[in-house]
């Protein structure tokens, strides 16, 4: 170990930075975040440092460096582009036994600045010993994506209960097991999600009954299909769940990201073929959570956009089961973006409407006067099987038959196909190309932009022009 990792309390401690450029500014930002009282020594300051000095946030000494300047400092940083000056700063600090860092010069430094992941009070420092700082920053970037921003709140939350947990569990092993169950369970999830009141109620229950089951349900939007479009929160919960309930709109590649030992239950619903009725899905989630399991309800797109997410959490709320809803990129947004079809555009569409193409009582019951207004985009979910009726109804209610229309199948995945036509031609094109669910229909003038803006995979029949 070439460098010993150490966390130093610099709150209200005098620290000196020699240099007035952008490099010095980066160090000023770090030390200000740590609460240090900063003196910046440099004849000239960059604009932002000058503004900080003018506001009294840092003390400015407009002078050349002399060794006596380091006296009384807790920490010293040399950040000039003159190695002779940097060496003089280093020599003076070492002579006074003051820790000194010369930026990008480990030879002259007694300490080096690590790459920092800040989840205060949780801090993670990454160092390569000054040999390859860029590698340290790359590792930090990986950690940033893996560690929720809410972990800082979690550390503070745990600190508030530390003494009570210690009093409740005299045995060290029992205490460790309790904290592990809390920090890897629904209590921690509630804190990370910002639901402190819920987390405190759950923690009180855990302290009162440590062995009682403590399940929860997470409604997670899996997005339109491409695993790269998952949110960090969705991915973390997929790795933690005990049981996963998924449907046919969840791409197989997404299931590969679920925890390997998690139980997987298919509850998919297809047109006229329901693996489980909605009431049974609600009851299953409730039962599994009451057994103390962390249940992941993985839904294609977004749980609250034609995903029946509201119905599912109503049942959980009635029975006091903790739940969380994690939004996903809705299929409409994903399909439009990957097909090069802006849902809104200043020149063509000032609004967008999402509807479902399911039949009810043998008819498609939609607000046709509203849907046929000009200058808007209409996205139809679950409309491929009723495309002929849909397109005919648009025309019947006043939409021109040559209005651009497209269907996007398996949006955002390697299987994506985009077929472009008009309200008159689209139904035949769907049959000709064998388009099947999952697919969305997009109607509106913006569809004609697909030929120019479509960047992902190919566009079939991109002949419509405005």
| More reliable by pLDDT, 120 or 28 | 28
Give the phi and the psi of residue 368 in degrees, each rounded to 5: -60, -40
247 noted as active-site residue = yes
The answer to whether 245 touches 267, Cβ cutoff 8 Å, is yes
What is the CATH number assigned to the segment(s) 336-460? 3.30.950.10
Binding residue numbers for S-adenosyl-L-methionine? 224, 300-302, 382, 411
The answer to whether 40 touches 17, Cβ cutoff 8 Å, is yes
pLDDT at 303: 93
Whether CATH 3.10.105.10 fits 14-113: no
Going from N- to C-terminal start, the domains of the chain cover 14-113, 215-329, 336-460
3-state secondary structure of 339: helix
Binding residue numbers for NAD(+)? 22-23, 43-44
Binding residue numbers? 22-23, 43-44, 224, 300-302, 382, 411
Task: For residue 262, give every residue at least 6 positions away whose Cβ sits within 8 Å of its Cβ, in sequence order, or none.
Answer: 241, 242, 243, 244, 296
pLDDT at 401: 96
Distance CA 191, CA 203 (A): 11
String of b and e for 435-450 (b: at least 16 CB within 10 Å)?
bebbbbbbbbbbbbbb
Strand-pair category, 14-18 with 37-41: parallel
Of the residues 189, 247, 315, 399, only one is catalytic, namely 247
**Helix locations, 220-367, DSSP H:** 232-240, 252-255, 278-290, 309-318, 331-339
Q: Mean pLDDT score of the chain, rounded to an integer?
A: 90
**For the chain, percent of residues with pLDDT exceeding 90:** 64
Give the phi and the psi of residue 420 in degrees, each rounded to 5: -110, 135
pLDDT for residue 462 is more than 80: no
3-state secondary structure of 49: helix
Distance CA 435, CA 407 (A): 8
pLDDT at 465: 46
pLDDT for residue 273 is more than 90: no
Distance CA 47, CA 22 (A): 9
DSSP string, 164-188: HHHHH--SHHHHHHHHHHHHTSHHH
pLDDT band (50, 70, 90) for residue 276 = confident
Model pLDDT for residues 107-146, shown as the tens digit of each residue? 999 998 888 898 888 889 998 887 888 898 899 888 887 8
Model pLDDT for residues 292-323, shown as the tens digit of each residue? 899 999 999 999 998 888 888 898 999 888 89
Of the residues 91, 196, 242, 269, only one is catalytic, namely 269
pLDDT band (50, 70, 90) for residue 90 = very high
Model pLDDT for residues 315-331, shown as the tens digit of each residue? 899 988 889 999 999 99
pLDDT at 120: 86
pLDDT for residue 362 is more than 70: no
Distance CA 74, CA 76 (A): 7
- Nearest Cα neighbor of 6 from 131, 97, 99, 72 is 99
**What is the average pLDDT across 326-344?**
95
Among 68-72, 85-89, 232-236, where is mean pLDDT lowest?
232-236
Distance CA 83, CA 163 (A): 51
81 noted as active-site residue = no
pLDDT for residue 466 is more than 50: no
The domain defined by 215-329 folds into: Cobalt-precorrin-4 Transmethylase; domain 1 (3.40.1010)
């Amino acid at each position: 170990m070439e460098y010993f990792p150490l966390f130093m309390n610099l709150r209200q401690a005098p620290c000196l930075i020699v240099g007035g450029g952008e490099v010095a500014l980066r160090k000023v930002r770090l030390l200000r975040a740590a609460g240090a009282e900063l003196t910046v020594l440099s004849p000239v300051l960059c604009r932002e440092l000058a503004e900080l000095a003018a506001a009294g946030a840092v003390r400015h000494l407009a002078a050349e460096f002399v060794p006596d300047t380091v006296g009384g400092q807790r920490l010293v940083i040399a950040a000039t582009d003159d190695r002779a000056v940097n060496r003089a700063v280093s020599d003076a600090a070492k002579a006074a036994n003051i820790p000194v860092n010369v930026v990008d010069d480990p030879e002259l430094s007694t300490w080096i600045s690590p790459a920092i992941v800040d989840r205060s009070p949780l801090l993670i420092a990454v160092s390569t010993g000054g040999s390859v700082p860029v590698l340290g920053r790359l590792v930090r970037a990986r950690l940033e994506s893996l560690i929720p921003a809410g972990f800082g709140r979690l550390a503070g939350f745990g600190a508030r209960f530390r003494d009570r947990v210690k009093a409740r569990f005299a045995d060290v092993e029992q205490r460790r097991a309790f904290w592990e169950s809390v920090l890897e369970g629904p209590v921690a999830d509630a804190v990370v999600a910002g639901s402190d009141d819920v987390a405190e109620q759950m923690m009180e229950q855990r302290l009162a009954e440590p062995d009682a089951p403590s399940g929860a349900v997470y409604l997670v939007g899996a997005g339109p299909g491409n695993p790269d479009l998952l949110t960090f929160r969705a991915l973390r919960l997929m790795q933690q769940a005990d049981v996963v309930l998924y449907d046919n709109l969840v791409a197989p590649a997404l299931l590969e990201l679920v925890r390997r030992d998690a139980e997987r239950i298919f509850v998919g619903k297809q047109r006229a073929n329901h693996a489980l009725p909605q009431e049974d899905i609600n009851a299953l989630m409730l039962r599994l959570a009451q057994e103390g399991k962390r249940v992941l309800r993985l839904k294609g797109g977004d749980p609250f956009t034609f995903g029946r997410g509201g119905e599912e959490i109503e049942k959980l709320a009635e029975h006091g089961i903790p739940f969380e809803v994690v939004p996903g990129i809705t299929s409409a947004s994903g399909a439009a973006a990957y097909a090069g079809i802006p849902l809104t555009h200043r020149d063509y569409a000032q609004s967008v409407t999402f509807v479902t193409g399911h039949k009810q009582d043998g008819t498609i019951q939609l607000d046709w006067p509203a849907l046929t207004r000009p200058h808007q985009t209409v996205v139809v979910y679950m409309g491929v099987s009723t495309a002929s009726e849909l397109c005919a109804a648009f025309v019947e209610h006043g939409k021109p038959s040559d209005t651009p229309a497209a269907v996007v199948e398996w949006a955002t995945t390697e299987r994506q196909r985009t077929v472009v036509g008009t309200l008159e031609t689209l139904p035949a094109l769907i049959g000709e190309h064998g388009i099947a669910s999952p697919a969305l229909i997009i109607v509106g003038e913006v569809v004609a932009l697909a030929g120019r803006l479509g960047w992902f995979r190919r566009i079939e029949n991109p002949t419509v022009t405005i």
